[in-house]
Structure 1
Amino acid sequence: MNLHSILTQETWRVIENSQFAPNHDALSSFALDDTLCEAVGKKQSPAVARSWVHDKTIVLGIQDGRLSALREGVEFLKADGWNVIVRNSGGLAVVLDEGIYNLSLILHEKDNNLSIEKGFETMVVFLRMLLAPYGIDFETGEIVGSYCPGRYDLSINGKKFAGISQRRIRGGVATQVYVCTSGSGSERARVIEHFYKRASDNEPNCCPPIYPEAMASLAEISSQHIAHSELNRRLIYLLNEYGHVIQTDLNEDETILFKTYYDRVKLRTKKVLLPLNI
């Protein structure tokens, strides 16, 4: 599998949302990736790399919406100052905050012969290069006890600091990674642990076990401060090795399409949370 050939594109389009996005509804990021996924799939946009950060938000998966005592769980999160949204895809709850750097690589599926496996592995290769200047290397594989566990958990010495997901729309593939750069990984995991205890009414076996000690940030693991602005500069430097880089916002057609996708993700959250009367 020559993953570097997948990263090689005539043009890489960079959209940098990690500076202003904390002031925006986190639903917008999921709608943005869906919008760009369709645009890339229809060849109306070159490949896209987008970085994004949001403030104190818990993102629930569709499965979480079926928890028997969801209202109690959401009330706990909101009382602790967390925004709560529901993404329109599977998986389980994850945390967004100012210490978590998110990166999406959005590519054309057929042109890159991009299987699910290749999508994940391409992000792994790219993230290794992104973090190399800090002397950081990592392992892949599910970390039991982490929140939203999966085969593409990224860890160092058994502690998870990142996770990768993937979304496919109309011929486009968005591979997304969240990287806990700073703050306490165990404290984030503890929030999710308490949420599940309340949202399941302590019902056994309905939620994966959460062991807060299974998670850590890169700052905790490496004793380094990794600024998001530095990661963005490194991102552009790397992409320049693989193609011509342009930096743009959404165009007029994409802005219209974004409104459609935003309404969809907003409706998903309303369907799950509005009946709770919170």
Structure 2
Amino acid sequence: MDKSTLELMPKVIELNNGEQWNDAERNILLDDEWAREVGRESRLPTVRLWRHAPVQGLVVSKRDVAGDQGQLAMESMAKTGWPIIVRPTGGTAVPHGSGVLNLSMLFPRRAEKATTDAFYRLLCQPMIDWLKSMGMNATTGALPGSYCDGNYNVLVDGKKLVGTAQAWRGGLAGTASRHPGYVLAHACIMVDVDLAQATDAINRFYSEVGDPYRVDASTSTTLRHLVRTHGIANEYTAAMAQTDFTQFLKTYYEGQGITVQMAR
């Protein structure tokens, strides 16, 4: 990680695997709740590595469901077994379920100059290095046709493995601020997902909201598929990935002089 990007990392962080498996919506919105605490300085800057609750569905931005047609689409999708959950970050729809591993960085907004690009690099570089440690060549870049496309997709073998999004809220961090600010940078790692079904659900949702946006399943891949094709393992689950990546992150950050406190 380059020096200017690394300077955005807090000197002390909490590494947390906290999950709310009995409530899929709260499990997602926990990011925003904890990020507000980070902004108020009642919680350490937090790196959260967590799995979605075992409920199949789509996570979308507020813009996607704005208006009456959006609300009707939410009702219709729920009836077909693809409930919609609205997230605090932007971007377009992504699948959720127990086969998805999420990386969330919840950091305070500081006075130092920073850009969304810098925070995306801060988010993506550990994933790139983790994949490299397993023998995969990963990079970032846009991939037209992929779900929630952006310049900071993480790509392996020319296909999208990870989607990313970001949200900035409030002003500068600290208890003196009326609305303490935070940065929420988020990544969804597709570990074991039926991409054909998920893509069909995404396209159906956008059709129902009257949006011409469509995605192509062939542009994306899963970590389970990659570890098989690269001869790393025959089986790989989100739980296995969570354990492996947590251990990697602890060593990774400590190697850069950052104090890591593991959540109890």
Where on the TM-score scale, by shorter chain, does this alignment land: which range? 0.7 to 0.9
Equivalent residue in structure 2 for 1:192, among 177, 189, 202: 202
Alignment of 1:25-104 (within 5 A): 25-30=24-29, 32-54=30-52, 55=54, 56-66=56-66, 69-70=69-70, 73-104=73-104
The answer to whether the aligner puts 1:176 opposite 2:186 as a matched pair is yes
Checking the alignment, whether the CA contact within 8 Å between 2:139 and 2:155 is kept in structure 1 is yes
Shift in alpha-carbon separation, 1:234–1:245, aligned structure 2, 3 A? same
Residue aligning to 2:225: 220
Checking the alignment, whether the CA contact within 8 Å between 1:185 and 1:212 is kept in structure 2 is yes
Q: Percent same amino acid among aligned pairs?
A: 20
Q: How far apart, in 2, do the equivalents of 1:21 and 1:102 lie? A: 13
Shift in alpha-carbon separation, 1:233–1:26, aligned structure 2, 3 A? farther
Residue aligning to 1:129: 129
For residue 121 of structure 1, report the CA deviation from its aligned partner: 0.9
Letter in 2 for 1:158: G
For residue 181 of structure 1, report the CA deviation from its aligned partner: 1.4
Letter in 2 for 1:14: L
Q: Taking structure 1 as the reference length, what is the TM-score of the superposition? A: 0.76
Shift in alpha-carbon separation, 1:111–1:240, aligned structure 2, 3 A? farther
Higher helix share: 1
Shift in alpha-carbon separation, 1:45–1:211, aligned structure 2, 3 A? same
Q: How far apart, in 1, do the equivalents of 2:71 and 2:105 lie? A: 34
Checking the alignment, whether the CA contact within 8 Å between 1:180 and 1:216 is kept in structure 2 is yes
Unaligned runs of 5+ in 1: 201-205, 250-278
Shift in alpha-carbon separation, 1:4–1:67, aligned structure 2, 3 A? same
Q: Taking structure 2 as the reference length, what is the TM-score of the superposition? A: 0.79
Unaligned runs of 5+ in 2: 170-179
Checking the alignment, whether the CA contact within 8 Å between 1:161 and 1:218 is kept in structure 2 is yes
Q: How far apart, in 2, do the equivalents of 1:66 and 1:6 lie? A: 34
For residue 12 of structure 1, report the CA deviation from its aligned partner: 1.4
Equivalent residue in structure 1 for 2:246, among 232, 243, 247: 232
RMSD: 2.5
Runs of 4+ off more than 4 Å: none
Q: Matched residue of 2:196: which SS?
A: helix
Aligned residues: 240
For residue 67 of structure 1, report the CA deviation from its aligned partner: 7.0
Q: How far apart, in 2, do the equivalents of 1:153 and 1:199 lie? A: 25
Q: How far apart, in 2, do the equivalents of 1:111 and 1:68 lie? A: 40
Shift in alpha-carbon separation, 1:112–1:37, aligned structure 2, 3 A? farther
